[in-house]
C-alpha cells in the first residue's frame, strides 16, 4: 500500500523543530535586510495554514479512497508544521507574524468549497506542491540568515516528497484510463495554485521559473504519455 512507503519515507526524512532549527541563532539584522523575502515567507505561512480546511474538503470528496485519505493525513501534519515554523520565524524576527484573526479570515472565504473531481484536484495539488518545492529551494539559497536557509531547505524537501506522493496517487488512477489522463493534463495546463485560494499572489522564486516548468512538463509526460507542451498545441488523443 502506498501509505506504508510514504509513512516510512516521511519518518526517515522528518526534521524536528526544536532539535534541527537553532531558533536562538536567528540573525534579525540579516533577516530584516530582506523585507520582500519576509513578505513571501508570510504569504507562504498563510498558505500552509490553510491546509486543515483544504484537506478536509479533499477528505470528504475521497472518503472511500483509503490511499488518498491515509497519505493526506501525514501531509496535513507536515503542512501545518510548515506554517508553524514559518510564522514562528516571523515572530522571532519581529516581522508581521500572522494573527489568529488573519488565519480565520483566510479560511472563511473557502469554508464552502467543494471538490467534485478527485483526479482534477490531485493534479492541481501535485502541480502546486511542485512549484512550492522550487520556491522553497530558491528561498533557501536567497535567504541571508542561515536559520531561514535551513528551514526553507527542510520544507523544500517535504514539498518535493508531497509532489511525488501526489504523482503516485494519480498514476494508479490514470493508468488505462484515457479520460482521467485528459482531466489531469487539463488541470495542469489550466493550473490554479492551491495557495491562490487564500492569497492574491502566490509567492514565486522568480517569474517563469524555467527549470520548474521543464521538470513539470517531463513529469506530466511520464504520468500521461503526453507532455503539457504537446497537449496544449491541439486536442490530442491521450494514450500510452
Model confidence at 12: pLDDT above 90: no
> Is 11 within 8 Å of 135 (Cβ atoms)?
no
DSSP-based three-state secondary structure for 239: coil
> From CA 112, how far away is CA 235, in angstroms rounded?
33
Alpha helices per DSSP H over 190-227: 210-224
pTM of the model: 0.92
User: pLDDT digit string (tens) for 195-212?
Assistant: 999 999 998 756 667 889
Specify the residue for cell string 528561498. Answer: 139
101-to-65, 98, 166, 201 alpha-carbon distances in Å:
34, 8, 31, 20
pLDDT score, position 47: 97
Model confidence at 236: pLDDT above 50: no
pLDDT score, position 105: 94
CATH of 27-233, one of 3.40.50.150, 3.50.50.100, 1.10.620.20, 3.40.50.2300: 1.10.620.20
> Roughly what angle, to the nearest 10 degrees, separates helices 66-93 and 146-174?
160
Backbone angles phi, psi at 155, to 5 degrees: -65, -40
Give the domain ranges of the chain: 27-233
> Is 33 within 8 Å of 144 (Cβ atoms)?
yes
pLDDT score, position 53: 96
What is the band of 233 on the pLDDT scale with cuts at 50, 70, 90? confident
pLDDT score, position 71: 92
> Is 10 within 8 Å of 161 (Cβ atoms)?
yes
Q: Return the percentage of the chain with pLDDT > 90, whole number.
A: 83
User: pLDDT digit string (tens) for 95-137?
Assistant: 999 999 999 999 999 999 999 999 999 999 999 999 999 999 9
Q: Would you state the cell numbers that stand for residue 152, as one nine-digit string?
A: 526553507
Cα angle vertex 53, ends 3, 228, to 5°?
A: 65
pLDDT score, position 207: 65
Model confidence at 189: pLDDT above 50: yes
User: pLDDT digit string (tens) for 41-81?
Assistant: 999 999 999 999 999 999 999 999 999 999 999 999 999 99
For the chain, how many residues are written? 240
Q: Is 84 exposed, middle or buried (0-12, 13-18, 19+ CB in 10 A)?
A: middle
Model confidence at 240: pLDDT above 80: no
Model confidence at 237: pLDDT above 70: no
Q: Return the percentage of the chain with pLDDT > 70, whole number.
A: 95
pLDDT score, position 4: 80
Cα angle vertex 80, ends 31, 39, to 5°?
A: 30
CA-nearest of 195, 81, 178 to 131 is: 195
Backbone angles phi, psi at 190, to 5 degrees: -105, 50
Q: Would you state the cell numbers that stand for residue 122, as one nine-digit string?
A: 490531485
Q: Would you state the cell numbers that stand for residue 88, as one nine-digit string?
A: 514562528
Write down the mean pLDDT value for the chain: 92
> Is 119 within 8 Å of 110 (Cβ atoms)?
no
> From CA 62, how far away is CA 225, in angstroms rounded?
25
Specify the residue for cell string 526524512. Answer: 13
Amino acid at each position: 500500500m502506498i501509505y506504508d512507503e510514504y509513512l516510512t519515507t516521511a519518518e526517515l526524512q522528518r526534521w524536528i523543530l526544536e532539535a534541527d532549527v537553532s531558533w536562538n541563532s536567528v540573525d534579525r539584522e540579516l533577516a530584516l535586510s530582506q523585507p520582500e523575502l519576509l513578505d513571501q515567507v508570510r504569504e507562504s505561512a498563510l498558505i500552509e495554514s490553510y491546509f486543515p480546511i483544504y484537506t478536509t474538503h479533499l477528505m470528504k470528496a475521497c472518503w472511500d479512497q483509503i490511499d488518498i485519505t491515509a497519505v493526506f493525513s501525514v501531509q496535513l501534519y507536515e503542512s501545518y508544521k510548515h506554517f508553524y515554523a514559518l510564522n514562528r520565524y516571523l515572530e522571532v524576527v519581529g516581522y508581521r507574524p500572522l494573527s489568529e484573526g488573519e488565519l480565520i479570515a483566510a479560511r472563511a472565504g473557502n469554508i464552502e468549497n467543494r471538490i467534485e473531481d478527485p483526479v482534477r484536484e490531485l493534479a492541481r495539488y501535485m502541480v502546486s506542491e511542485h512549484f512550492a518545492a522550487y520556491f522553497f529551494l530558491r528561498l533557501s539559497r536567497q535567504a541571508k540568515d542561515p536559520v531561514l536557509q535551513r528551514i526553507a531547505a527542510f520544507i523544500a524537501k517535504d514539498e518535493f516528497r508531497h509532489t511525488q506522493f501526489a504523482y503516485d496517487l494519480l498514476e494508479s488512477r490514470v493508468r488505462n484510463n484515457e479520460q482521467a489522463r485528459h482531466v489531469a493534463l487539463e488541470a495542469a495546463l489550466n493550473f490554479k495554485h492551491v495557495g491562490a485560494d487564500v492569497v492574491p499572489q502566490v509567492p514565486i522564486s522568480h517569474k517563469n521559473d524555467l527549470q520548474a516548468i521543464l521538470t513539470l512538463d517531463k513529469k506530466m509526460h511520464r504520468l500521461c504519455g503526453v507532455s503539457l507542451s504537446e497537449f496544449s498545441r491541439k486536442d490530442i488523443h491521450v494514450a500510452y
